[in-house]
Structure 1
Amino acid sequence: MAGFRTCTQPPIAAERRVLADKLAVEENRLNGPSPSSPEHARTGPDAGAPILRAAIRIGTKWKNGRTLRVRFLNGSDKQKAKVRQYAGVWTEYANIKFDFVFSGPAEVRVRFDDSRTTWSAVGTECLAMADSEATVNFGDLPDGSPERNFSADILHEFGHVLGCIHEHQSPSSPIPWDKPAVYKYYKEVMGWSSSEVDINVLGRTNSSVGILHSEFDHDSIMIYPIPGEFTKGRYSSSAKCQLSAKDKAMIAEAYPPSRAAVAAAAVAAPASAPAPAVVTFNAMETRGWDDAGKRASKTQVLVGNYDAAPSLAVGLNWLDVSGATNVRVNAYATRIKKNSANIHLDTWSDTRLYSAGCTWFHAAAADPDFQIGQFSTEDGNHGRDTPLGRTTGTVKFARPYASPPKVIVWLNQLDLAASSSSASSGWRVRATATDLTARGFKLRLGQVDVASGSFSASKKGQAMQSGQVSYPAGTFKAKPTVLSAFSMLDCGRATSLRAMVSTDSVPRKMKWRIEPWSDSVINSAEASYIAFV
């Protein structure tokens, strides 16, 4: 197998982690841990309540609009020119600038050597490194390098500078690694230990970690070359030397353009119908999670050369709300103009909203393909003072289609009862579009009906054992789907092991059977189930 170029990603030293995390949050408050992570102990109504989500590691994203100073520690004129050239490609899509300085402090410090080891600190991690230390190292870029190598290495490492992770280690990576082959190659060719291979190649970043990634992108500049031998021929990836379309979109979303820049771009844009756009807002952009408030809002520039105010749909994508009172949150837009809108995340009454986030989609109001609307249970169906388990409304398209279109439904407002100590209690809500035609559809909005539990057979040696489970009163009005599987088995060893579990359900209860067959014997067994509609 021929060798190929790699980037060695050194983990930040343990003794620097606390400082790196502190500086990351000072740089960008959205780098902070999850508002529900254990290190954020709560006070007030939630004091002492269990925190259910795991801790989230500090992110590494720079403050949007930042100018990062870059200083060369060494290097030839050609090497420096190539870094300026290819690092600048990222700034065509990200609202970040690089200022190449000759002396003094610099967030990014570039070194060239012949170590054949290329690496970069990820995002704000470089802030915890000494001013004399390199934060980016190019170990295999002499002046005579092919242009492809300059492009590939510099684009890749400056992706790390902006906070990007390796694409093959993305939470969304589907790569079916042949791990023994990967360990063997990197040990023989690179001299890496198994832990170094895990850090740089095989390990996946937790999806909750606050660093930059998109849906898996086979063409990303951030992916390693992956020969087919690493996956038993089921996947391969060649070396990349330019930003992919997803790279550009991801970094533009992570560091969106300023309002002034967007306005200037809109003036220069051709007078054609703009493509629909999706962006996001989080309440923590305006305040800390621990400064629980009733309202958060921002004015958002809408990218596009609209002739009139566009249509805009808002949906919730982040919630951290106290369970001590009703869960109340509303995401909506006001003052929608041709090139801007005010986006709001509100709560009311005694609800404590630690943080919330939303996304939105906008398209021209007269767009022939997209129509946007909203349905509320308070629109003549039932008010807040008469809660129901479910409700149905009819939605009619303002402009009928030639054939039934695809419909996407988002939740943008919730008012759910406070948490309960009941084991079967939970916040469950689902919005579903049904009975779709070219003229409209039915919107069904209500709780998600779920019941779960377990049952057991403990009569040793009995051929077949059965019983029934009653669902909590009022859980189902129709026959639910039931999934069940063994959670424990104790069977005799004198014959083959043969055992089966089956269920038969009606809306109020479920019958179950656990049985062996032939000459097999079950001493005891347990099974768990989930029932839902």
Structure 2
Amino acid sequence: MSTTTTTQPTSTSVTTLALAVAAGSQSGPPAPGGDKAASPATTAVLTDPQSSTNDELGIPDEHFLCMQMLDPGSVSAVGGVPAGNAIRRPVETNGGLTLTLSDDKKWENGQTVTVRFMGGSEFVRSKVKEYAVLWCQYASIQFQFVDEGDADIRVSFLNGGSHSKIGTDCLEVDDQDIPTMNFGWFDDQTSNAEFQRTTVHEFGHALGAHHEQNNPNLVVHWNKPVMYKYYLEHDHWDESTVDTNMFTPVIDADATAWDPLSIMHYKILPDFTFDHLSVPLNWVMSDQDKAFIKAMYPPTQGDKGYWLSSESGLFIQSSWSENIRYDRTYGKPPLLALGLNYLDAWHNPMGAYGIWLEAWAANNKRTMFDLHLQGFQVQNFGAGATWLEFDTATHPKVEVSTRGFSVDTPIPGQTWPIRFRHTYTAPPKVLVWLNSLAMGSGTASKCMGASVANVTATGCTVDITALNSDAVMFMGNLTYVVIPANTPNIQMGNVNAGVPGIGAVPGHFVTLQPQSNAIPVRFATAFSSPPKVFLALNALDYSRGDFVRLNAHVTDVSATGFTAHLDTWVESQMFGVTATWVAMM
């Protein structure tokens, strides 16, 4: 798994996968519906709470807290969690990690934990899936979402508070009709920021994490009368509930340092303490959250990871640069294969461009590289790039390169002949996906794709083509990857929602695709354990409207398959999307 300097942990030997997403904007309207543009800034200790009002984020004041569901057996007679239940700092972590997590409530490392929803709209369920798996980028754990039957975690959406059982305490609830987790205020109008904040927090509990204010290394003098009054008025909590959730420390002399930026921390208002300490409402996982959960559930194989725009807390900007630190030191800089997987663009109909997004890597070294995402004359509420890392020592005959064009006068497409640098005994596997695109606005459709053809043992052709006659292309760039045939522990293919460009085929008509598209994929041959799965865009077909929105991601990864998601949302009309997937150990 790759990391940013402010984010993630470790890569191992084989090919690694990683994903980065950033968000931004220029002038333009707020993102409609459930993706409001007004969003939280990066948080820091001793600052005022969230600058955006609760109303802007669609969250009533009383809905800011969850109640962690402690097993009574986990609380000692002196009011704390027994030392044996608290995870100590792992010896390999250099002492800089935090998070309060119960050792005896951990799942097995590498385990696939099943999750079943009990209610909730299709949109709300899709958002919980999207953000729950953020933990899986750092922990060697998979969440598999099932529609029926028994499940380790059962998620309800009953009005009221949000809460979760701690780790494997979920298994102590034998009745499969009783939820182990609840989201009390999610609906189709909830903002993405709030979906992420609360989902990540509750699934942190489900992995075994306690509230960070219960960390014994937090030395603070609580003003309990003020807090009792506040929580009674805002959350209808009695004093014992406040005591459990705010004043019950983990009893362990070796507990890790207190992390005021942890996603597991409640906000602390200045009046809550005689020290006037304040902690803001934390919207994203902290660096220490990510590092510690990875140390608790260390990778068992080649890993992947990704960074979402919402993880940074920055939602409104036009370009983004992130220093990505590899999870290990390579002998030589690895080969990087970048692709797009997240688009959230709005354009002024009077402007020249309907969509513009570039992704590229710079300063690729043995330990890190710089990721750049750039928009131009469009409003990007979000953008994303995903990448593969190939260790040249492990994969000496893998080839990665790019081809592309950028023009002032639009063209219908371009083809490039490719001659392989290596000699192959048989035609290799060649994959392509888009890493940059710019298309016209006005009456032009947004319809283009990358493809590969004529593969032999010595070369192939790759192209970028406008798939409709009215599609106007100003820029296109693709990544191609050449992998020797019969390379073990790797499988690949394409998935699609609709058929991009089908309207240009005589006798065929375009069909508007639903907003949520879940495509089950079954591997040709089962892996020995769940592989890591990469998914990137290689063709799209959107209407002449003002929004182009796509979230390509995977869930439910097992040794036999996974579910690919090609989703869009409000005011974006998708006629077709095709994406390339790669699964590898």
Band the TM-score falls in, shorter-chain normalisation: 0.3 to 0.5
Q: Which has the higher contact order (CA 8 A, sep 6+)?
A: 2
Which of 1 and 2 has greater Rg? 1
TM (norm. structure 1) is 0.41
